[in-house]
Structure 1
Amino acid sequence: MIIQRLPWAGIRISEGDIVIVIDPISRILEEFGGAHEPMYPLSFFGNADAVLITHLHEDHFDPDAIIKAYGAAIPVYVPNEVAETARAAGLTNVNGVAVGMSFEIGGDVKVTALPSVDGLGDVQSAWVVEGGGRKVIHCGDTLWHGYWWGFAKNYGPFDAAFLPVNGAVLRLPGMLPSGQPICLTPEQAVAAAAILGAVRLVPIHYGTMQNPPIYIETPDIADRLAAASEGKVNISMIKATETVTL
């Protein structure tokens, strides 16, 4: 299994002849300060056989880019509750997936939807992808939650966990600010990866957006990951376009 980082929170999984992309995007909206790392058209990374979307926030769901790169008819899997919204964006082969449901892609890759907790209270799923004797989990932009132990018991251990690490604090118009992170901090991501029994933590969801006071990324991410992970889990901080082989 070969994993390639896409910008922000996206990854591209190659297992044999099957290619799956999770949360692929080609832009960051200007209200979040635009992109602070290079962005690419999805076609830059090659083909895909299926798309998995954790949730429909615009920094995780880019239907125009998906259609342009892969065609409107590519199989797209989303949480069951938001399937109609995804179809309304122009995608013609949207599959709603309930939590706990598993399905196969190409006969060689198994995907399972697990619960996840979104920082704004919106519907979100985590995805477990298995193939070639390897297993990974991608958790979107999850907060800390109590599902980690159940994930480990029922689905683990994992060869890699793709977890957000930037502990971002939001201040959006019309919302009373909480001052609390809307996704995992570096220390929380390490703790989650350790509970999951992950061989390695591949950080996602960092380094791309910073637009105070609307969007504030937590500081010193790399140093904090290194300090928290010592003796617990390996960290693979790969940049967009870089790959890791499991």
Structure 2
Amino acid sequence: MNIQKLPWAGIRIETGDIAIVIDPIARILEEFGGAREPMYPISNFGKADALLITHLHEDHFDPAAIIEAYGAAIPIYVAAGLEDAVRAAGLTNVIGVAVHSTFELSRDVKVTALPSVDGLGDIQVAWFVEGAGRKVIHCGDTLWHGYWWSFAQNYGPFDAACLPVNGAVLELPGMIPTGQPICLTPEQAIAAATVLGAKTLVPIHYGTMQYPPIYNETPNIAARLAAASEVQLNVSMIKTMEKITL
């Protein structure tokens, strides 16, 4: 199984003949200052047999870019309850998946929707992918929550956990500022990966956006990940376009 890093929080998983793309985007909105890393057409990363979307925030769901790369009929899996919104964006082959439900993409590749906690209270799922004897989980832009232990008990240990690490603090118009992160901090990501029994942490959701006071990324991410990591946990900070093999 190969994992390729896409911009921001996106990844592409190759397992056997199946290619799965999670949360691909081709732009960061100017309202958030634009992108601080190169952005690419999604098609640059190769074919996709299925798309998995963790939630519909615009930095995780880019329908125009998806349609341009794969066409409107690409199978796209979302959390149950989001189907109409995704169809309204122009996608035609939309499958809603209930939390804890599993579906097969081939005889050897299974995907399960797991619970996740969104920093703004919107519907979100984590995606657990099994294939070629390997297990990968992608958690969107999750907060710290209490599901990690049940994930480990029921689905783990994991070969790789793709977790947000930038502990972003938002000050959005109309919302009372709290100073609290809306996704995992570096230390929380290490803790979550450790509970999950992950061999490798693939950090996502960092380095692309910084637009104070609206969007504030936590500082010193790489150093803090290194300081917090256990010896048995490999932290693989792959750059966009790079791949690792599990």
Shorter chain as normaliser: what TM range? over 0.9
Q: Compute the RMSD of aligned alpha carbons.
A: 0.6
Question: Which residue of 2 is the match for residue 41 of structure 1?
Answer: 41
- Whether the 8 Å CA contact 1:112–1:129 is kept in 2: the answer is yes
- The answer as to 2:21 corresponding to 1:11 is no
- Whether the 8 Å CA contact 2:199–2:232 is kept in 1: the answer is no
Q: How far off its partner does 1:230 sit?
A: 3.3
Tell me how far apart the structure 1 counterparts of residues 232 and 116 of structure 2 sit (CA, whole Å). Answer: 23
Q: How does 1:1-246 map to 2 (within 5 A)?
A: 1-246=1-246
Tell me how far apart the structure 1 counterparts of residues 131 and 61 of structure 2 sit (CA, whole Å). Answer: 24
- Whether the 8 Å CA contact 1:161–1:193 is kept in 2: the answer is yes
Q: How far off its partner does 1:232 sit?
A: 4.8
Q: How far off its partner does 1:106 sit?
A: 2.7
- Whether the 8 Å CA contact 2:9–2:204 is kept in 1: the answer is yes
Q: How far off its partner does 1:157 sit?
A: 0.3
* CA deviations over 1:165-221 (Å, ceiling 9, x no partner): 000000001111111000000000000000000001000000000000000000000
Identical amino acids, percent of aligned pairs: 77
- Whether the 8 Å CA contact 1:194–1:232 is kept in 2: the answer is no
Runs of 4+ in 1 over 6 A off after TM superposition: none
Tell me how far apart the structure 2 counterparts of residues 182 and 231 of structure 1 sit (CA, whole Å). Answer: 28
Q: How far off its partner does 1:86 sit?
A: 0.5
- Whether the 8 Å CA contact 1:25–1:42 is kept in 2: the answer is yes
Aligned-partner residue type, residue 212 of structure 1: P
Gaps of 5+ in 1: none
Tell me how far apart the structure 2 counterparts of residues 43 and 230 of structure 1 sit (CA, whole Å). Answer: 36
> TM-score if structure 2 supplies the norm length?
0.99
Gaps of 5+ in 2: none
> TM-score if structure 1 supplies the norm length?
0.99
Greater shift in the superposed pair: 82-91 or 228-237 = 228-237
- Whether the 8 Å CA contact 2:142–2:164 is kept in 1: the answer is yes
Tell me how far apart the structure 2 counterparts of residues 118 and 182 of structure 1 sit (CA, whole Å). Answer: 7
Tell me how far apart the structure 1 counterparts of residues 241 and 167 of structure 2 sit (CA, whole Å). Answer: 23
Tell me how far apart the structure 1 counterparts of residues 62 and 137 of structure 2 sit (CA, whole Å). Answer: 21
* CA deviations over 1:26-66 (Å, ceiling 9, x no partner): 00001111000000000111110000000000000001111
Q: How far off its partner does 1:16 sit?
A: 1.2
How many residues are matched?
246
